[in-house]
Structure 1
Amino acid sequence: MTTRPHPPLEGHTPTPTGTSPAEPASTRAGSGALKVVAEGVPSSVRPDPHAGDGRRPVAWLHIVAPPSYSATPSARSWCSCGRDIFAAGLVRALTLIDDHNQHRTLCPLLVSQEGKAA
């Protein structure tokens, strides 16, 4: 009985003998430097897209007005100067909203910033 060699498997590719595409190609004129990126691709460091423009929030007003008329609305006023006031109920929340708007005109942190923006 003679044995026959098995036929090659389908899809079998021969081992490459040259350089693989994963190796960096050398630059022209044999300068010795390796080419890192493809031509036409920007490699410079770009500025941070999230960099601020110098402005920052100073005063916040958070109003919660539930869709049901029977639910209790509330409001909270914060400021970087240390102000932190909470009010629950329709009349108190409306009063706090007016008070917050007045505080924005009197707060030393906000008054000094308005002059810089102009």
Structure 2
Amino acid sequence: MTTRPDSAEPAPAPDGSSAPKVVAEGVPSALRSDPRWDDGRRPVAWLRIVAPPSFGAPTEATAWCECDKHVRTATGRAAVLRLVESHTHHRTICPLLAPQEGKAA
């Protein structure tokens, strides 16, 4: 019968120090001081464009904004261009994105 070392005991560090090494050198640890850290930023407006490599295939786009929860779609080059223009304009007037008077930056 062979005996194996007890896996619950940490192995001594190779450099002889008393603290065991947690991760390999150069490997970032995934642990943060506060795992619930949040800077408050959230995605608000999305624009998804699908343009297949074939010129004859239809181009499609979908625009969505958190302020009105309204999804807009377009199919075809001209309609997609209009949707991109509309989405870009909406981002300047959206109450969730546009700076408001008196609001601290």
**Which TM-score applies when normalising by structure 2?**
0.64
Runs of 4+ in 1 over 6 A off after TM superposition: none
Q: Distance in 2 between matches of 1:80 and 1:70?
A: 33
Structure 2, unaligned stretches of length 5 or more?
A: 10-17, 23-30
- Could you tell me how far 1:50 is from its partner in structure 2? 7.3
- Counterpart of 2:19 in structure 1 is 39
- Correspondence for 1:63: 49
CA RMSD of the aligned region, Å? 3.2
Higher helix share: 1
Structure 1 position 93 matched with structure 2 position 73: no
Find out whether 1:103 has 2:90 as its counterpart. Answer: yes
Which structure: larger Rg? 1
* CA 61–46 in structure 1, closer or farther in 2 if over 3 Å, else same: closer
Structure 1 length normalisation: TM-score?
A: 0.58
Counterpart of 1:104 in structure 2: which amino acid?
R
CA separation of 1:65 and 1:50: change in aligned 2, threshold 3 A: farther
1:79 and 2:65 aligned? yes
Higher relative contact order (CA 8 A, sep 6+): 2
Q: Percent identity?
A: 46
Structure 1 unmatched runs, 5+: 1-11, 25-37
Cα 1:68–1:47 change in 2 (3 A) is: same
1:52 aligns with 2:4: no
